[in-house]
């Protein structure tokens, strides 16, 4: 694939209950007063919830982003500090996009951000990624060079992978970018956006309930997950810089090993519609 990000065709995956917001002629998206109020309620609540929980890299990234409190930010506002920090930008997408499109964007240093925000009745939990999850949960970490390099490398790997290998890559993304934890001098801290953007997952991840395991790539590739439950297992990195090293491993070799060894037994009841 060439490096021209403008060649990427962004199409929605059928099945989303939400509709992407369309920008006007000036590239601006107009949100309703209620949608802006949902953002305000979410960000104020979550900023309190992650105190003493989020890793320093996330806190620093949030300072760089300077997200508005009273309204949903325009993606251009998010892209500007991202560009200065790591040459990344935020790309408007529908709610759900194909894996190949997702990887094309990441490989071009464009982070896909759905332009809709959740309805108030889904304030606490949403299966589909909305703009709060993407911007608040993920974009701050993309100001970190190691995290950004890992995410770009992940996108490039996804473009080379076959269907079976993509399933392994989905697990790698799940236990790092979405639900990753970090060992620090002051205790375990969160860098995964699926935790940082969720009030319930934030409280749960920092309790004594889940099983925290040292990060091991092969183990991660063999660990099943479900998207609709609190995670029974989290993997803990020794340093955020470990992501840079993981990005430069021979991950296809690790995937072959994982395929030979087989999956771990899931620590959750089966669900036929969705399993990792």
**pLDDT tens digits along 215-243:** 999 999 999 999 989 999 999 999 999 99
CA distance 83 to 98: 25
Domain residue ranges of the chain, discontinuous segments joined by +: 33-261
pLDDT tens for each residue of 264-276: 999 998 876 444 5
> For residues 126 and 113, which has the higher predicted lDDT (pLDDT)?
113
CATH top class, domain 33-261: mainly alpha
Residue ranges for the known binding site are 133, 138, 178
DSSP 8-state assignment for residue 143: G
pLDDT tens for each residue of 48-94: 999 999 999 999 999 999 999 999 999 999 999 999 999 999 999 98
Phi, psi of 223 (to 5 degrees): -100, 115
Using the predicted structure, report yes or no on whether residue 2 has a pLDDT greater than 80. Answer: no
Residue ranges for the known binding site for Fe cation are 133, 138, 178
Q: Which of 203, 199, 202 is nearest to 191 (CA)?
A: 202
Residue 271: per-residue pLDDT: 75
Residue 13: per-residue pLDDT: 60
CB-based burial label for 28 (10 Å; 0-12, 13-18, 19+): exposed
CA distance 88 to 80: 9
pTM over 0.95: no
**How many Cβ atoms from other residues are within 10 Å of residue 125's Cβ?**
11
């Amino acid at each position: 694939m060439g490096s021209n990000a403008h060649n990427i065709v962004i199409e929605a995956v059928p099945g989303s209950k939400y509709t992407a917001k369309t920008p006007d002629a000036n590239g601006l998206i107009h949100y309703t007063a209620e949608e802006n109020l949902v953002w305000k309620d979410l960000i104020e609540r979550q900023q309190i919830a992650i105190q003493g929980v989020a890793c320093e890299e996330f806190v620093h990234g949030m300072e760089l982003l300077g997200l508005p409190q009273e309204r949903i930010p325009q993606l251009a506002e998010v892209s500007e500090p991202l560009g200065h920090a790591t040459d990344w930008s935020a790309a408007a997408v529908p709610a759900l996009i194909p894996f190949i499109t997702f990887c094309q964007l990441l490989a071009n240093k464009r982070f896909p951000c759905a332009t809709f925000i959740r309805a108030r009745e889904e304030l606490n939990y949403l299966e589909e990624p909305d703009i709060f999850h993407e911007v608040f949960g993920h974009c701050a970490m993309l100001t970190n060079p190691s995290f950004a390099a890992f995410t770009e490398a992940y996108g490039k790997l996804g473009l080379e992978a076959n269907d079976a290998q993509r399933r392994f890559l989905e697990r790698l993304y799940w236990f790092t970018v979405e639900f990753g934890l970090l060992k620090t001098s002051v205790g375990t801290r969160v860098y995964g956006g699926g935790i940082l953007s969720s009030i319930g997952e934030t409280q749960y991840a920092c309790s004594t309930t889940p099983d925290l395991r040292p990060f091991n790539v092969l183990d991660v590739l063999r660990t099943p997950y479900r998207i609709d439950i609190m995670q029974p297992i989290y993997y803990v990195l020794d340093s955020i810089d470990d992501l840079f090293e993981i990005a430069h491993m021979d991950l296809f070799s690790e995937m072959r090993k994982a395929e030979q060894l087989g999956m771990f037994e899931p620590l959750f009841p089966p669900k036929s519609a969705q399993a990792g």
